[in-house]
Each structure stands twice: as structure tokens, then as C-alpha cells.
Structure 1
Amino acid sequence: MTEELAGWGTRGTTGVSFAATLDFDAVDVRLGGRAVLDQFSLTLRPGEIVCLLGESGSGKSTALRVAAGIQPIHAGAVRINGETVSRPGFTLPADRRGIGLMFQDFALFPHLTVLQNVLFGLRRLGRTAALAQARAALRRVGLGDREGDFPHMLSGGQQQRLALARSVAPRPGVLLLDEPFSSLDARLRETVREETLAVLRETNVTSLIVTHDPEEAMVLGDRVALLRHGRIAQIGTASEIYSHPIDLNAARFFSPLSELDAVVRNGHAQTPLGAVPTPGFADGDKVTVAIRPAGGARLRATGPGTLGRVVGKRDAIGIDICEVKVEGLDTPIGVRQPASPTVVAGQDVFVTLNTEHVLVFPCV
């Protein structure tokens, strides 16, 4: 069943692409003597959406440029549908790869109208077919009535929609998106993200999305790949990578943590908040107990639990963000839980751990 969202066209009306595989095979890229990608390997299945996540300088945008044919490689290979499109000394041009590109700054042509911007990628089609595909894409993103306007006449959100229409109109086998929502304000970002995901699902295009926002990656991706120093440190579904981060740095990337140093005794890490199970660790091992603010701990007005004091509280929409001082801990722990008017700064509370949301790592 199709539906309308404000400013967007009818869902389920986007043309379907012939989704391709995208394969990075031990790719190296060196820039200025530095390894930006180091034996980088990643395979996207047809129709899959993979979010490439990492800090600035981790190699995310370079990987996208390699896939696009903009950046040559120094070792390894890139294949689309099994065909080698990049290897040392050979780079197939972007316009021969069957890919779509959507960049952070939208890269619209200011001297072309809205319709002409979309038609630009359809030059290989006949005029009639090109107009039909371009107009269908513009209707889907809610710009069917703006085809004669120029990009500067559109709002930022509308420019993003135009960039999306231009990217999907040729029905590419692979779509590459580089921080596509970073220039939008928070009010627009959620809606635009939701509708963009709907368009990607409708087209069934294989999509590689670069982002530095963990929440965005987890919402959009069938799988999330965490990139670190030019290599994939961990890859999996949002649930897998959030619930079972490979190490403490990966856990820190996905959420803030309260970190407690402890020693394992009798199969448990002994902390001021109680004992935490430590499967896989030996007695005497030094560990870091990492408590996520959402779900890791709970506050109650009465026991059981460890006595603490709320030293700070901020109100979010339906959420209390609290800092709680507990005897034996140098810094307060962070707790997020459903809003309650009974929780106030200065109040004594009892803290209990939900060990299912508490992570344990070797001390680093």
C-alpha cells in the first residue's frame, strides 16, 4: 500500500534497478606516503544497504571514491558484478561503472533546471524515455511541480531530494552516498532519512552509505561496517555490532560509556555497583566494565541496589539524562531512563545494573 508524506511523492512508485554486487578485495590506497586504505575488503550483496562508519580520517570517503572510480588503487581489486573495475594501473571511468553518486554537498549543476539536472544522467536514453524516467523520479521526491526551477530556488531539503532523484533516475546497479544528510538540520534529517531509505528499498539498488553517525548507520544499514585506520574492524547487523562490539573502542564509538576498572574474582568483576559476570576471563584478570547509559543501569527510589545520589539531571523528550555519584567511583555514572518527575538533582537513589547491557573488556 502506498502512502503520502508531506513534501514527498507516493511510496512504491520508484523504478527498480538491476542490483549489482560490489566487492573490494584487499584494496590499498596510499596518499602522501600514508596508508589510507590498508588491505580493505568488503562485499555488498545485490540490493543490500551497507553503512560504512568511522571517525574522520578512517578512510570512509576514500573507499567511496575508490568505488566510484575517482581514486586509483595501489593494490588489490574492485569488482562490480564480478567485473574488475579497479586494479593497480587501471581504473574504469565512473560513467562506465553503472553507479549512482550522491555527495555531501549534493553537487547540483547551478546553471541547469531541476529537470535538466536529472536528465543529465539519462543522456544515453532516448528523449522520450529520459523525460519519463526523470519526471517519475522528481514526482517520487515531491518535486514534480518544480522542474523548471533552478537549484538555488530550492531549500536545503529540496536540494537533497533533487540530488536523490538525479542519483536513482538512471536506475544504477550500485548507489554511493557520502554523508548524505549531514548538511540538513535536525528537524529535517529524520524525515529525509526515512524517505531516502524508502526510495532505496523501492529501487532495490545496492547501496554503500558513508556516515560518521552511529545512530544513522544503525537505522539505515542492513549491515554496518566499522572502519578503523583503513581496515574494517567489525561488520555485522546493527544489533550484532551494538550488542557485541569487538573491543572497548568500538563500544565507545556506538554510545557514551561509564567505565569501571575491576579485577575478576570467582568469575565476576567486583565493582561498587555489584558483581558483573565475566565469561571468558580468568580470576585475577584486570578488566574494564562498560555501562551504557541506556539500559545499563536503573534508578529506584527504594532498594535493593547500591546507594547513590543524583548530582545532575537534564530533561530530553520523554527521557531523563541523569548523572549519579556512587561511593567508590571517581566520576558519576550516566543513566538514561523514561522521564519521571520524582527524580530530581540532589535525590538519593538506589542503582541496579542490568548485566545484559553491561560490557566487559580487557583493560587497555
Structure 2
Amino acid sequence: MTQAAISTAAIQVPHTPLLELDDIDIGYDGKAVVHGVSLALPEGQIGCLLGPSGCGKTTLLRAIAGFEPVMRGAIHLGGRAVSEPGHTVPPERRGVGMVFQDFALFPHLNVADNIAFGIRDWSRDARTDRVRTLLKLVGLTGYGEAYPHALSGGQQQRIALARALAPKPALLLLDEPFSSMDVELRGDLAREVRRILRAEHTTAILVTHDQHEAFAFADRIAVIHQGRIAQWDTAYNLYHRPADRFVADFVGEGTLIPGMVCTEDRVDTAFGEIQGSMSEQLPPGTAVDVLVRPDDIAIDNEQGTVRTEILDKAFRGADFLYTLKLPDGINVLCMAPSHDNFVIGEHVRLRLDFTHLVVFSRGSGVDCPGA
């Protein structure tokens, strides 16, 4: 069993999930673009499909919604098969809501009528009460008579969300809903939308290419690579326990440096010997690549043991992200508080803060020096 499969199995829940994808393939003209995807999302949890453009995440979302058939496997919603080869329950009969990238608000309808659009068959009193409740929930009480063109992008996003929530869908799907927002607003809005979904006890799936949105929004994240799930896990595990090199590179910032396994908790690298619990148990002498995150090392000219040169720096407000050159020419990234403003070309010393070692085997090597 692969590490990704182990990671997926470890987070499965004993009760029936609201959404279950069972080894599905999706494709066009007989050619699969999504391969063997399986995951389970319990009721009330928020999931995310994260990956670069063209990886298949939006195709997967469209299949969950009912807009694309599956070539193999099955999609179950609330214990009912809604997609199998030759059988697809239409979107309007799935009890699934959607929030689109462009919001798709009706410009000729005011805010209240936009929200009430999907519950037109409810009684007048029930519609009015639901609209009032949702306007309060999204923080736009008093905006019912306004029109979409008079709202900011963030306000339009909240109205689109309220409209999707109005019929109380079993599952809400969000397709890159924050992509048109300013970078500064995205994280705040993602956290606000998460709060709203929690208040409504709504199960949801977000599609995004932005890991910061995913981290702020989701309980479980599926990293998609070339149409497959590389890892389905918590944000913490994706960052600290990536299942493969793609996840290690795509999630967070970091560098893979060569090393040699010395013991079960010690690796020889350009830093010298580093120690910590290892993500994979490998025999001594195995050549590995070690993941170095910016928070694994710290600039410390008093107690640091590794001499480096500053090649580049990026100001991030409270911190600088430095690019440092090790003695053997390897470059690594290091985050440091911005009150210490080191200059490019300056030599500084590093203190190692490794608590665990994420390693990927490169095959067998020679004996570790000094082992």
C-alpha cells in the first residue's frame, strides 16, 4: 500500500459518508483525464480539491455536480448512487448547490430576489424568513432591495453563497469562488465563508489552486496531480508529512537537498548530520532527498553552526523570506523576523530546528561518513 493510500485510509470514518467517490474515471471522447479517484467526505465537513491548472480538479467537481458522467466507478451521495457508467442522476435531482467563479447573480433582480430564486416554490412567508436569515448570516442585513451592480465583489460573493444555501442543499460545491478577489481579501473571505457554512451545518467542497485558501477553508484537502489524488489529508499533514515529492513541492515552500541515511533518525546532509523522527524508515546507506522547509532552519549568528551566504530576500511584512547558499552550493529558503534586516551578499550562520525529517529515497548508497 502506498503512503498516500495509508494516509487516506487513516482518516476514513466508521459511519457512511455524505459523499463517496469510489475509484472513478472521468474523461472525454473515451480518454480518461481523471483516474481512479476515491475519497469519502463525512456530513458537516468541508473538503477541498487543490492542484495546478489542468490537473482535473474542476472536471472532478463537475462530475460530483452531475454535469459530467463517469467512465468507471461510482459517486454516492447520501448513500445513493448518483453516477455510474450508463447512469447519471441529473444535477437538479442531486440536492447539490453550486457557487460559480463569476457568481452568476441575476442583474435584473434585487438581492432578496436573487437569494430567493431557488426557493420560488416555498410559501411567501417561508421565503421571506429564509432570505432574512441568510442576509443576517452573511452580514448584509438591510441590503435586500439593493441590486448586484451596487455591491462590492466581496458582497456579491456573499450573496451568491446565500443564494446557493437558500434551498438547504445536502452538499455545496464552490468552483474557484475567490479567484477574482484581491490577494489580501481571499484568506479573510475564505475564513468568513467557512464560518457561514459551519453555522448552516453544510457539507462543502472547494476547488482552488491556492493553498492558502485551501488551508483557511477546508478540513480535508485532496491534492490533485495529473488527474489522480496524490494525498487526501489535513492541511497539517500535507505540509509536514507529504506523501510524495509532488505534494512536498506543491504545498508550502521548501527545498529538497541530497542526504544519506545514517541511522533510523539521523541523515548526513550539506548541513552536516541532522536528526529527527523520519517519515520513512530506510536502511543506513540509502541515498535520500530531505525536505527543508523555511521554518526548519533559523538565522542565528551566535549559536548557528552552518555558514551561508544570502543570495536573495523577499519582504513579507513581519518576516523576510531569504534564499541562502550553503557551502556546497545548494540553495535553501529561510524565514526570519523582519526586524533583522540582513543584506544580500552578507554571510550568516544557521541554527537547525528540525523535529522530524521528511525523506524520499533515491536508492542505495555507500556507508554514511562517521557511521
Does the TM-score normalized on the shorter chain lie above 0.5? yes
For 1:263-278, list aligned pairs within 5 A: 263-266=260-263, 268-277=266-275
Change (3 A) 1:211 1:342: closer
Return the alpha-carbon distance in structure 2 between the equivalents of residues 210 and 236 of structure 1: 15
Residue aligned with 1:308, SS:
strand
Q: SS of the counterpart of 2:21?
A: strand
Paired residues of 1:292 and 1:357 also in contact (CA < 8 A)? no
- Correspondence for 1:158 among 148, 155, 158: 155
Query: Who is 1:344 aligned against?
Result: 343
- Note the 1:247-286 alignment, pairs <5 A: 247-266=244-263, 268-277=266-275, 280-286=281-287
Match of 1:239 in 2: 236
Q: Which amino acid aligns with 2:268?
A: Q
Matches within 5 A, 1:72-151: 72-151=69-148
Deviation at 1:20, TM superposition (A): 7.7
Task: Determine the structure 2 residue equivalent to 1:14.
Answer: none
Structure 2: which amino acid aligns with 1:271? Answer: T
What is the aligned partner in structure 2 of residue 35 from structure 1? Answer: 32
Structure 2 Cα separation of the partners of residues 349 and 358 of structure 1: 23
Counterpart contact for 1:74–1:87, Cα < 8 Å: yes
SS class of match (1:191): helix
Distance in 2 between the 1:29 and 1:325 partners?
45
Would you identify which runs of 4 or more consecutive aligned residues in structure 1 move more than 4 Å?
Answer: none
Label 1:98 to 1:326 Cα distance change in 2 as closer, same or farther (>3 A). same
Percent of matched pairs sharing the same residue:
38
Matched, 1:60 2:63: no
How many Å separate the matches in 1 of 2:283 and 2:17?
A: 47
Deviation string 1:280-314 (CA, Å, 9 cap, x unpaired) is: 12233221122111x11111112441112223333
- Equivalent-residue separation in structure 2 for 1:207 and 1:342 (angstroms): 43
Measured against aligned partners, the alpha-carbon deviations of 1:294-344 in whole angstroms (never above 9, x if no partner) come to x11111112441112223333221102112222112x43210122233533
RMSD: 2.1
Give the match's secondary structure for 1:250. helix
1:358 is displaced (CA, Å) by 4.4
Would you say the 8 A contact 1:20–1:174 is kept in 2? no
CA distance in 2, matches of 1:116, 1:304: 63
TM-score w.r.t. the length of structure 2 is: 0.86
Aligned pairs for 1:172-211 (under 5 A) are 172-211=169-208
Q: Report how far residue 88 of structure 1 moved.
A: 1.7
Tell me the number of residue pairs that the alignment of Structure 1 and Structure 2 aligns. Answer: 344
Q: Deviations over 1:80-116 (max 9, x none)?
A: 1111212222222222211111111112222222222
Q: Deviations over 1:21-43 (max 9, x none)?
A: 11112221111443122121111
| Residues 20, 47 of structure 1: 8 Å contact kept | no
Which consecutive residues of structure 2, in runs of 5 or more, have no partner in the other structure? Answer: 1-15, 364-371
Secondary structure of residue in 2 paired with 1:312:
strand
CA, structure 1 residues 341+353, in 2 after alignment: closer, same or farther (shift >3 Å)?
Answer: closer
TM-score, structure 1 length as denominator?
Answer: 0.88
Look up the match of 1:307: 307
1:218 matches 2:215: yes
